[in-house]
Amino acid sequence: MSHILSKRRRCGILLPITALPDGAENGDFDSAPRFIDWLAKAGVTVWQILPLGPTHDDLSPYLCLSAHAGNPALIGLRWLAKQQFFEASASTGDRRQTLGQAYLLFRHRADAQLVAEYEAFVSDATHWLEDYATFFVLWQHHKQLSWTEWPQALRDRTPSALAQAQERWAQAIDEVKFTQFLFFKQWREIREYAQSRGVLIFGDMPLFVAHDSADVWANRHYFKLADNGTASVVAGVPPDYFSATGQRWGNPHYQWSAMQADGFSWWRERLETQLRLYDLVRLDHFRGLQASWEIPADSVTAEQGVWREAPGYALLESLKAGRHEIPLVAEDLGLITPEVLHLRDDFSLPGMAVLQFAFDGGSDNPYLPHNLEKHSVLYTGTHDNDTSLGWFNRLAQDQSVRVRSYLRCLKKDMPGALVASALASVAQWAVIPLQDILELGTSHRINTPGTRTGNWRWRFQWQQLTEQHAFDLRTQIDLYGR
């Protein structure tokens, strides 16, 4: 089976939308075209981003309120001001209020063509949009309490209670749908612009979904839940190099038998949504398709758990049906068994390698450049790692010597030497976090696994991204045939 990865060598930059400059509280879509222009100037043909879903207060894009919906905080107000139903002078600078004003103006002023476009979007998204919009309005009404703490009739989606709520909050629900329409409309324009500049969008899809989400509330039979809706077991990983006590993510586990019974329709619909957003999708925690770590819900850490097998072959066969390829990259880091590798390879899925993990152990470390597989994506680091400069500066003396000996560089050459090693490698795609291009330290990392505060807030500034950076990167990309 051919794969998009096999067509040519590429260089990518890893940067979440929220890390873009401009925007009030976080980066948003308005800055994306300018960043795409810089990527094209630098010869970069892949932009890898993080999940785009609506987040909880911790801002983690891996615990979203929906596996389908987009985050309204990413909609650009400058773009919104250019739409026919909106007046720039009406903006208060508050995104939520501005989106509300846009909805009212749309309902009063939109022409027939735009109304038809909106109605087509609603019809096309019928398998998730009504549930999400209803969930979001109820979630806000209940002051963002988990749906398991709502009145029982709404918690359990009693038809009469659900119908009454949808009638009572009909306009608010319609406004949420309209906001989703705006999100997908602007992102479609950005993706088309990226295509015109020769840049692919590389997305990210978590294996698991958040318990407090429209997906779990509306599809309880697909998850291992108690009668009151709480999770009986939760997801995570056992102790590893990220954490001595493992990672307790808290996501509910799938009831795989129920998903398989209806041909994995939930998964097929989910992938279709992702492919409306991205050219290629990284499946986070791919090893969970072979077996996943089940932690008792009352356990504080991830140390107490068991591996439960999953029907990965059957799922991937279902996702492959009717396609020339499955446009996925397997995030296969961590505790990987031969069974996981067989699953990955039997479906010709590229795996991942991270150079920051390459210098533990001996010369047989699979992440060292001389051991890499061509059909893979190589990173200097990921969103869960320290920046490469921060990582290097924290190494013990013997490890620092090993890194410099392998890369044949001096301390002052880092992290540039690591970036050059990634670009020179046989890996078909090399993806570099923007922080490593800018040679930034630990204070600029995006996320620290196992912590709940201070994450997902980093942003760069335009003055940091110079013409010289673009020239230097393009020179290396040309040199290494990317």
In this predicted model, what pLDDT tens digit does every residue of 103-113 receive, in sequence order? 998 998 888 99
Which residue in 284, 332, 386, 436 is the catalytic one?
A: 284
Confidence class of residue 252 from pLDDT cuts 50, 70 and 90?
very high
Is the confidence at residue 158, as pLDDT, over 60?
yes
User: Can you tell me the distance from the alpha carbon of 186 to that of 79, in angstroms, rounded to the nearest whole number?
Assistant: 8
Beta-carbon-side half-sphere exposure of residue 360 (alpha carbons within 13 Å): 7
Active site residue 331: yes
User: Can you tell me the distance from the alpha carbon of 102 to that of 87, in angstroms, rounded to the nearest whole number?
Assistant: 8
User: Can you tell me the distance from the alpha carbon of 172 to that of 133, in angstroms, rounded to the nearest whole number?
Assistant: 8
Query: What confidence tens digit (pLDDT) does each residue in 415-462 have?
Result: 999 999 999 999 999 999 999 999 999 999 999 987 888 999 999 999
Which residue in 215, 331, 386, 436 is the catalytic one?
A: 331
Which residue in 332, 384, 386, 436 is the catalytic one?
A: 384
Active site residue 346: no
pTM for the model stands at 0.96
Query: What confidence tens digit (pLDDT) does each residue in 289-313 have?
Result: 999 999 999 999 999 999 999 999 9
Active site residue 384: yes
Alpha helices in 241-300 (DSSP H): 256-261, 265-277
In this structure, are residues 70 and 180 in contact, taking their beta carbons and an 8 Å threshold? yes
In this structure, are residues 66 and 214 in contact, taking their beta carbons and an 8 Å threshold? yes
Can you give the length of the chain in residues? 482
What is the chain's mean pLDDT, rounded? 94
